[in-house]
A and B are shown apart, each in its own frame.
Chain A
Amino acid sequence: MSVTETQGRASETIAVEIMGKKYRIPPGLTMLQAMWHTGHELVRGVGCLGAVCGACPSTYRTKGDTKIKTTLACQTQVEDGMSFSLTASYYPDKKVVYHFDEMKDPKQDLFHYYPEAALCRNCDACTVACPKGIDVRTGVWKAVFGDFKDASDLFLSCVMCSLCVPVCIADIAPNQVGLFARRAQGIFFEEKKPQLSLRVKEIADGKFDTEWERLMTLPDEAIQAESSV
């Protein structure tokens, strides 16, 4: 897309409905910017403003469409005729307390903590709801079938916004299932890292101590001359 194509005329405004109230705003604003522009003070519902923290789940409907869609308000541009609502910054989804150091078989333990995970009825509403474009349904199935590796990959970009939770007809909290699978994968199933373990040991054994003694009192000019970059 050409940079100039999106350049709206300064006087041009678009129609928007924010939580049921009608406003006219300049084009090119995100939903949150539109709320600031129309005088809304925001505390709940704003976070990183970069679509990675999940603080601003929202629902919206575009002109002429009947479907209500979900998104993150910080990175969704308002279109003419859009109606939206900053839904909530807190969904009371079920987060079970667990301790991986007490688990022996996390792939089975998943059913102890999140038994409903096995009840997915394949409706795919979670995938449709996900503002990060994650194939949530497949992620849940992968976790249920013990493929924590694939489940982990699928849930990589999950921001825990919980938009997948209220739409689940089987009462699963897919984001929590994904997080459980990711952490279990990291703790139980990833290969060891020989270089890291070696370096930890070298430091503990004092391998660099002599060099440290020399370095800590070295004048700035001498440090500048140390070979590195």
Chain B
Amino acid sequence: MSDIDVSKERVNTSRAARSQQEMPRLSAEEKDDLVHRYHPDYKKEAYATLRFGPNKGEQTVHELARLLEGESPVPADFPALKPAHQVDILIIGGGGAGATAALTAKAAGAKILMATKLRLGDSNTVMAEGGMQVAVSPEDSPIRHFVDSLKGGHMANDRVLLKQLVEEGPSVAQWLIDLGVMFDREDDGNLSLRAGGGSSLPRLLRCKDYTGLELMRVLKDCVLNEEVEVLEFSPVIELLTDGKGSCTGAILKDLDNDRRIVVQAKTVILATGGIGRLHIQGFPTSNHFGATGDGLSITYRAGASLTLQDTFQYHPTGAVFPEAMAGLLVTEAIRSAGAHLLNAKGERFVYELETRDAVASAVIRECLEGRGIQTPAGRYGVWIDMPLVDQINGEGTLEKRFPNMIRQFSRYDIDIRKEPVLVYPTLHYQNGGIQIDAEGESTLKNLFVAGEASGGIHGRNRLMGNSLLDIIVYGKRAGAAASKRAAASDFGPLSLDHLSRFRKERSEAGVNSDVVSPMLFPDYVKKQ
């Protein structure tokens, strides 16, 4: 037997003895120490200082800094800006936040246009497995949800944004249910709630391990039923401004014919999602193919500030074997249901429901210190013991609650009901993003931001289940605020003055890289 098989056998044989074992929780100090030592956010050489722009002097990872300081694909001699569309609101991004904003704005009577890089619904939303945190149970309250999230975020959360998030949770859950979203229920008809890392009470609403798919399928159907005009395969490549600090539209690129589409809009809602496909620090990612942080670079160029742009979430349990699955998520809900994490020796090394940054740090520690398991492709990982879930909760639990997870691994002849699998942290979420106020407006007037592209709500570490909540609460807020603003505004002049300013600052800062942003897609094509 190989080393891997020996190690795996240790996990299988120790299962019964481990099932009752209690792991000590980390104190606040221990957690802090662990995260500072091992979390990728604290790796100094991975970071660069931004040389110009709204966040000049602040830090972010090299992969993002290159794009923020990158050149625009729009040439200085771009032809006269003649709008092909004139709308109250241009919504950029077709995921959960964009769709929610569209439905809200449409209901408010605004004339809207949605533009999305891939298809309507293609997003990180559709991939969310774990659930959506909402303080529903009698023992729970928005207050507890707030405190848990603030602690999880290392107190760096914007408290006003976080309060709105937790307080509007129950009403947006009701809104989703009224649209036909089916969350799992208990026999008494109440919503079934599950625990998540860093949460003091079970608070996760979910639809098996297809929560994001269920949400996105319903939201997309609603957008189609409302007959919203949608331009698919038409990513934004530049924002337009009036040259005086207000956003007035955008330039899209039609990927099918390479034509540019100028849109004049009274307000713009940016919901372009996350950054996983930048593969920060070489990490694999759980994210969608389109998650390249496009919104960040174009808003930065247009003069809007970012916040917490130096912090990212590495989900502790991304698959590392088989290679074809590398980066794909093994949902945290599996750990909530009792799955253990084990090192090469078959020993547990962290309480599995610490916050994600702490668990990820512990996994990295094990692998760095020689207690990880190497895959045939050369990756390192630790075991996640899923058969334990059935042992603790009864035969059939995995099948009933995690059908997607079973199916994902079964394609490669791995039965997670019978054997452990190897996992390692995978780049999952951008904790920070574009700074917004309580209504979702960025520091650039008339530019609203919703969902993962925004920053501040989650501090330096997002709790499981707070992202699906975020996209709905802030999708609605941005949709409502942008509609109201548009109703009281006229179209502004279309200009690229901000680009001239950006190019001047760039040149003065001595930046002359040939990186062009937004990136739009990762480049996986093998070169000859």
CA distance A192 to B207 in the complex (A): 17
Given contacts A47-B289, A190-B185, contact A196 B170 (CB under 8 A): yes
Contact B221 A183 (CB under 8 A): yes
Contact B182 A28 (CB under 8 A): no
B-contact bits for A208-221, CB 8 A (1 contact / 0 none): 10011001100010
Contact A36 B2 (CB under 8 A): no
Chain B min CB distance to A32 (Å):
9
CA distance A183 to B176 in the complex (A): 11
The segment out of B52-60, B71-79, B148-156, B434-442 that lies at the interface is B148-156
Contact A48 B177 (CB under 8 A): no
Contact B143 A215 (CB under 8 A): yes
CA distance A200 to B528 in the complex (A): 59
B-contact bits for A40-61, CB 8 A (1 contact / 0 none): 1101101111111101000000
Return 26 A-B CB contacts under 8 Å, by A number: A3-B2, A3-B8, A3-B376, A4-B2, A6-B376, A48-B288, A52-B126, A53-B121, A53-B126, A156-B214, A182-B180, A183-B221, A186-B177, A190-B177, A196-B173, A196-B191, A199-B135, A200-B170, A203-B171, A208-B143, A215-B146, A215-B147, A224-B151, A226-B147, A228-B144, A229-B25
Given contacts A33-B324, A156-B210, contact A1 B198 (CB under 8 A): no
Q: Which residues of B have CB within 8 Å of A41?
A: 525
* A22 CB-CB contact with B under 8 Å: no
Chain A min CB distance to B222 (Å):
9
Sort chain A's interface into a size bin: 35 or more
Given contacts A196-B191, A212-B163, A223-B155, contact A48 B127 (CB under 8 A): yes
* B82 CB-CB contact with A under 8 Å: no
CA distance A49 to B408 in the complex (A): 11
Q: Which residues of B have CB within 8 Å of A228?
A: 144, 147-148, 151, 200
Q: Which residues of B have CB within 8 Å of A38?
A: 526
Contact B147 A183 (CB under 8 A): no
Q: Which residues of A have CB within 8 Å of B14?
A: none
Chain A min CB distance to B374 (Å):
10
Q: Which residues of A have CB within 8 Å of B167?
A: 203, 208
* B368 CB-CB contact with A under 8 Å: no
* B142 CB-CB contact with A under 8 Å: yes
Contact B217 A199 (CB under 8 A): no
Contact B147 A97 (CB under 8 A): no
* CB-based nearest A residue for B171: A200
CA distance A4 to B377 in the complex (A): 10
CA distance A223 to B134 in the complex (A): 20
Residue among B25, B213, B414, B528 with max Cβ neighbours from chain A (10 Å): B213
Chain A min CB distance to B95 (Å):
11
A-contact bits for B378-392, CB 8 A (1 contact / 0 none): 000000000000000
12 other A-B residue contacts (CB within 8 Å) besides A195-B137, A196-B173, A196-B177 = A3-B8, A3-B376, A29-B324, A46-B289, A50-B286, A51-B407, A52-B127, A53-B121, A55-B118, A77-B322, A156-B207, A187-B180
Given contacts A75-B411, A160-B217, A229-B198, contact A55 B170 (CB under 8 A): no
Per the 8 Å Cβ criterion, residues 141-162 of A in contact with B are 152, 156-160
CA distance A133 to B407 in the complex (A): 9
Given contacts A3-B4, A192-B189, contact A48 B403 (CB under 8 A): no
Q: Which residues of A have CB within 8 Å of B4?
A: 2-4
Q: Which residues of B have CB within 8 Å of A156?
A: 207-208, 210, 214, 403
Q: Which residues of B have CB within 8 Å of A4?
A: 2, 4-5, 376
* CB-based nearest B residue for A192: B189
CA distance A226 to B167 in the complex (A): 18
Chain A min CB distance to B418 (Å):
10
Contact A157 B255 (CB under 8 A): no
Contact B255 A43 (CB under 8 A): yes
Given contacts A52-B213, A55-B122, contact A195 B136 (CB under 8 A): yes
Contact B521 A183 (CB under 8 A): no
Chain A min CB distance to B353 (Å):
9
Q: Which residues of A have CB within 8 Å of B135?
A: 199
- Which among B155, B178, B181, B412 is the interface contact of A77 at CB below 8 angstroms? B412
Contact B217 A186 (CB under 8 A): no
Per the 8 Å Cβ criterion, residues 183-202 of A in contact with B are 183-187, 190-197, 199-200
CA distance A216 to B142 in the complex (A): 13
CA distance A186 to B182 in the complex (A): 5
A-contact bits for B207-234, CB 8 A (1 contact / 0 none): 1101011100110010011010000010
CA distance A160 to B191 in the complex (A): 26
* A11 CB-CB contact with B under 8 Å: no
CA distance A180 to B135 in the complex (A): 29
Per the 8 Å Cβ criterion, residues 5-35 of B in contact with A are 5, 8, 25, 28
* CB-based nearest B residue for A183: B180
Chain B min CB distance to A191 (Å):
4
Q: Which residues of B have CB within 8 Å of A30?
A: 324
CA distance A7 to B233 in the complex (A): 38
- Which among A40, A187, A211, A216 is the interface contact of B179 at CB below 8 angstroms? A187
CA distance A40 to B524 in the complex (A): 9
Contact B177 A193 (CB under 8 A): yes
* CB-based nearest B residue for A32: B524
Given contacts A55-B119, A216-B163, contact A49 B178 (CB under 8 A): no
- Which among B147, B151, B189 is the interface contact of A191 at CB below 8 angstroms? B189
* B174 CB-CB contact with A under 8 Å: yes
Q: Which residues of A have CB within 8 Å of B407?
A: 51, 132-133, 157
Q: Which residues of B have CB within 8 Å of A39?
A: 525-526, 528
CA distance A49 to B181 in the complex (A): 24
* A85 CB-CB contact with B under 8 Å: no
